[in-house]
Amino acid sequence: MRPRLPEERPEEPPTGHKIAHPVIDADGGRAGFLGVSLGAAAPYRVLDEARCVYGRRHRAPHRRCDCGFHCVHERAVAEGLLVSEQYRRAVLLQVSVLGAYIRFEHGFRYQRQRVRTMTVAPCPCGAAAGVLADAGWGRDGRRVLEAACAGCVGGRARWTLDAFARLAGEGLQVVAAPGARLTGAAPGMPELVAEAALLQARLDWFQGQLARLGEAMGGAGPEPGER
């Protein structure tokens, strides 16, 4: 006889965390997500059901397959994945684990999910993200988006965070992580006066060099009456 997996019947759906790339349909009609590992093969919506990425006919998650949605228990673990170079432009998701699931030490593999919250990292320049801009690549008719501030977005197609939430639907909440804070105290009046004096001294030196160069160039010409 095959051992049966223990069954859980929680009163509330378990909560998990994961990372993904935000995507939007090529026509701009709907928004969703693209996973960073196995999930990269199949974009999904805010409320969606997993399908076997290998094309098998069993229902996910299957004990003898690694199909299904994946998430970790702890938010800090998911945030740690964002440190990796290939995941720097991804977003952090908080999800509700729905349907059948298999519990592991560090997370779940499960049948259905609802994305509750999407947290957008700061722009690469360090400022808090104000928009999601075209990242320059996509998959299956969907363009991938990345965080950007107003100063770095340039001429790229962009969507505000509220617009993305509206296109995603199902009550998704989108929040922007705070930008990097400047460290150290702002310079006071003595520091500014000293800096101004240094700049003036450099300007005086530069003007002196120009004057000497002008004199040298003028003295290099022919003397009056000489040919």
Whether the per-residue pLDDT at 184 is higher than 90: the answer is no
143-177 tens-digit pLDDT: 999 999 999 999 999 999 999 999 999 999 999 99
What percent of the chain is predicted at pLDDT more than 70? 86
Burial class (CB in 10 A: 0-12, 13-18, 19+), 150: exposed
| C-alpha of 221 from chain center | 64
Whether the per-residue pLDDT at 221 is higher than 60: the answer is no
> CA nearest 36: which of 71, 74, 76?
71
- Strands 131-139, 15-25: pairing is unpaired
Worst-scoring range by mean pLDDT, 54-58, 75-79, 192-196? 192-196
Whether the per-residue pLDDT at 1 is higher than 80: the answer is no
Q: What is the 3-state secondary structure (H, E, C) of the chain?
A: CCCCCCCCCCCCCCEEEEEEEEEEECCCCCEEEECCCHHHHCCECCEEECCCCCCCCCCCCCCCCCCCEEEECCHHHHHHHCCCHHHCCCEEEEEEEEEEEEECCCEEEEEEEEEEEEEECCCCCCCCCCEEEEEEEEECCEEEEEEECCCCCCCCCEEEHHHHHHHHCCCCEEEECCCCCCCCCCCCHHHHHHHHHHHHHHHHHHHHHHHHHHHHHHHCCCCCCCC
Whether the per-residue pLDDT at 201 is higher than 80: the answer is no
Long-range contacts made by residues 25-28, C-beta under 8 angstroms, separation at least 24?
25/141, 25/142, 26/138, 26/141, 26/142, 26/143, 28/159, 28/167
How confident is the model at residue 217, as a pLDDT? 77
Q: Which has more pLDDT, 208 or 111?
A: 111
Return all residues near 175 (Cβ < 8 A) that are at least 6 apart.
117, 118, 119, 120, 161
Could you tell me if 153 and 131 are in contact, meaning their C-beta atoms sit under 8 angstroms apart? Answer: yes
How confident is the model at residue 224, as a pLDDT? 46
> CA nearest 173: which of 101, 117, 102, 97?
117
What percent of the chain is predicted at pLDDT more than 90? 62
99-127 tens-digit pLDDT: 999 999 999 999 999 999 999 999 999 99
